[in-house]
Amino acid sequence: MLHTTCYGQHNNRHQEIQTSTKGKSAFTQNTKNLRAHPVFAYNATMQKLKPTPHNQLQLPAPSDAALASSQHLRDLIRQDINVAGGIISFSRYMEMALYTPGCAYYSGGATKLGADGDFTTAPELSTLFGSTLAHVAQSLFQQSEPDIIEFGAGTGKLAFDILSECQNAQIPIRRYFIVELSGELRARQELCLKNFPQVVWLEHMPQAFSGVVIGNEVLDAMPVELVMKTEQGWSRLGVCSATEPDQTLTLASMQDEASVIAELIAQIPDADQLPTGYITEVHPIAIGFMRSIANMLLAGKQNSGKGGACLWLDYGFPAHEYYLAQRDKGTLMCHYRHHAHPDPFYLPGLQDITAHVDFTAMALAGVQAGLDLLLYTSQAGFLLPAGITTQLQKIPVENTQAYLPASNALQKLISPAEMGELFKVLVLGVDIDFPDHLLAQDRSHRL
């Protein structure tokens, strides 16, 4: 999860969505004069992405207030489409659905995490996750400033667990920065972290930083572009108002310059070999964000003389696994009340919209910007060498009420059938000698 401020220098964002030009990067630039191709080709596209119409999805019913909020957001999106000349990029739609102030998914007031929310993240599952990361940070503090900066802090649970372990294990930490623009999320975090004076909230990514950067399920929430292989070549898919009575929004092709398409699909290995009709995502905004992180760490090194590292934990694949011919509908997925479905236009603002992370593209962006690739592995391959079982052993086995839930949560975090294999860990840094014991299951060669 993520709030819009995390995009960093790639997108210079204004807070008011109605009057801003945010999201208009080189890949989502002026669409005012763009028009959709004939819709017949894209009815098939929508059917492929979401074979069950959203009005037939068996999902929990939202409240009247939630429905009204979603309708308001849908009206704002349709206004944006009209202003843009009839079509907007999918990344723009995803940005509005997730981050429009006051009514979008991450900026609204509804519960997102845990049993009452839409999904559960590793920190919500177990304190073992955060306590393990605290000891990883400790091993890096010897080469950096003793500071942490977290993106996508959500409720503050991960920060709470890391700071609690630092306190209990006497790990010296000077400051714990949280980059957060949402007033609603910051209020939750302030309540959760009220006993930790080290916490400092920022509205923007700092220009320079030395220490440890942490992002858990951040990259998957960054808006993506949708592209499709047609008989004429690759095309970017945008969002326009639908003509069908049971839909309000639909996909259509955008008429981009060839150079824009070439830059987008450069992320896809052997793009020309993929079959006609292939639909997938590319990640220009996340790539730009990684470049901003690299610039921040490099500036921190120049200012302090000390190194820094960034740790990204998320679900995804290296490029050669992401863009398989068999994965011809991409990885776009929506989450609503612990139900997963593929319809991005279902109740905008009330559901999460995500795409898997292309870790090859993320690593390449960081390395090309000047960082070193330190580690790429599975979540299990990271947490086990990092000592998560040692954290479990601190709980007395005879205390079954505490030990059994913690043990079960640990299995979810490291089991190949749960989060252990699907979730990956990417670590990049500058002037950091990564601890040997954490490299036991390094898979960097697979990127």
**pLDDT of 56:** 61
Q: Is the pLDDT of residue 123 over 50?
A: yes
* Higher per-residue pLDDT: 38 or 393: 393
- Rounded to two decimals, what is the model's pTM? 0.88
Side-chain half-sphere of 437: how many Cα atoms within 13 Å? Answer: 9
Place 59 in a pLDDT band, splitting at 50, 70 and 90.
confident
Q: Is the pLDDT of residue 194 over 80?
A: yes
CA 319, CA 365: separation in Å to the nearest integer?
Answer: 13
Q: Is the pLDDT of residue 2 over 70?
A: no
CA 322, CA 324: separation in Å to the nearest integer?
Answer: 6
The single-letter code of the amino acid at 45 is T
**pLDDT of 239:** 97
Contacts 24+ apart (CB under 8 A), 73-78: 73/97, 73/100, 73/103, 73/104, 73/348, 73/349, 74/248, 74/249, 74/348, 74/349, 76/17, 76/18, 76/100, 76/103, 77/239, 77/249, 77/348, 78/241, 78/248, 78/249
Percent of the chain whose pLDDT exceeds 90:
75
Q: Are 215 and 152 in contact (CB under 8 A)?
A: yes
**pLDDT of 21:** 27
Q: Is the pLDDT of residue 285 over 70?
A: yes
Left (φ > 0), alpha (ψ -120 to 50) or beta: where does 209 sit? beta
Distance from the first to the final alpha carbon of the chain: 24
CA 53, CA 249: separation in Å to the nearest integer?
Answer: 12
CA 421, CA 379: separation in Å to the nearest integer?
Answer: 6
**Locus of tokens 């049971």:** 246
CA 160, CA 340: separation in Å to the nearest integer?
Answer: 28
Mean pLDDT across 42-66: 67
**pLDDT of 49:** 62
